Amino acid sequence: MGQRLSILLLAVLLLAGCSEGGSTMSYAERQTAAAELDSRLAEQSNRLGVKLFGQLWKPGGGNLTLSPYSVAAALALAYNGSAGETAEELGGLLGYAPEERQKLNTGHQALLRLLKDGGPGVELKIANSVWGMKGLPLRRDYLKTGEDFYGAQIKTTDLAAPKSVRQINEWVSDHTEQKIDGMLTEPPGTEAVAVLVNALYFTGGWSDVFPDEATQQADFYPPGGATVQVMMMKRSGFLPYAAHKDWQAVKLPYGEGQMEMVVVLPAEASSLQELADRLEAEGLPSDEDFATSRGTLRLPRFTASYGTELSKALQALGVKQAFDPSRGDFSLMADLDSPIYFEQVIHKTYIDVNERGTEAAASTVIDMRAGSAPPMDKPFEMTVNRPFLFLIRDVQTKVVLFLGAVENPLDTD
């Protein structure tokens, strides 16, 4: 057998501060466009995120943050280069069979346009790139698919040379406003065929900010450890709120409401583990669970970054052959005699939540609005002073951009 050749996949997400944003569509126009999307696209991307969360998060393991959309987009870009059983496995994970790839691609193309138009107060930048190994040309039809449907920038470099580390890291840093760097620490190597990169940068200003003067030091109770002092933000008023015997949840809209953060707090008698298990079995809280209610929310400021290699998690979810050096089949990406396989799937995230809003970023590299309801009679109280779950999503397309668990708001790494 000839030389084994590999692909590196990188997914980066950054969520951050606040933004003036911009929009070419009204809320109603965007809602109409979102309704025309294939609903499977969001459902499958979100399900992938929940499954990965279940694989990666362990009680007492610290904060965890990931971007379901970033990982799904990077994998979809790779999926277009796969064939045979490798394609069958990736299609199973992404929810589109190999013969449905054109539908997947057109869905991503339409979704990309909508995500980049999040309305005033929100800025969302999404970029993809394909870095081919100098001297090993990738198939033109594969590159055209990447360009046409994913807006991918096509790059060629020597992936075995140290300069490739600098070039790819600079590209990621540039597309995450310098919040994520050091994505690669060494060259992909002489066996590398391609590096596929997705980068996402989000800034959103709250529709209603947390007053600075209301922020005070308060106790937070991490699992199995001493109480820590955090800067606890406070807001009172009307918010979309949901309550269950095992949890409370609240929605915090950004801008004009096209994007939102959902914070889910386990009941004192429950735990983040039970909430995570419920998430995996039943999915995310639905819009029907929420009603606009009067109350008070206390939420800690927090900044967190996270990085991991996703190979084991993805293999546990059924994508095995793509990682097999002798059986990986990405023959639609490059016309070579040797198998092409995933060497690594690297994912990094960063998030900063404060009184003004959220800044966040993510990157994945493959080595290769709510309605209103009458307010509750009794105002709710939701004090997020113990481990909690949060997500950031596009209200109209239903795509989850960011999913995380915070055990200690003071842990920044």
pLDDT for 356 beyond 90: yes
pLDDT for 105 beyond 50: yes
SS3 category, 68: helix
Three-state SS string over 335-374 comes to CCCCCEEEEEEEEEEEEEECCCEEEEEEEEEEECCCCCCC
Q: Which residue has the tokens 């138009």?
A: 117
pLDDT band at 177 (very low <50, low <70, confident <90, very high): confident
Answer positive or negative: Cα dihedral of 139, 142, 143, 148.
positive
pLDDT score recorded for residue 9: 52
Choice among 18-22, 80-84, 238-242, 409-413 with the minimum mean pLDDT: 18-22
Choice among 267-276, 309-318, 378-387 with the minimum mean pLDDT: 267-276
Q: Could you give the CA distance from residue 334 to residue 346 in angstroms, rounded to a whole number? A: 22
pLDDT for 200 beyond 70: yes
Q: Could you give the CA distance from residue 41 to residue 195 in angstroms, rounded to a whole number? A: 24
pLDDT digits over 290-346, tens only? 999 999 999 999 988 888 999 999 999 999 999 998 889 999 998 888 888 898 899
**AA letter at 259:** M
pLDDT score recorded for residue 374: 40
pTM of the complete model: 0.90
Average pLDDT on 85-95 reads 97
Choice among 143-147, 362-366, 402-406 with the minimum mean pLDDT: 362-366
Domains (range + CATH), the chain: 5-368+370-406 (3.30.497.10)
pLDDT score recorded for residue 413: 66
Mode of pairing for the β-strands spanning 380-383 and 291-300: parallel
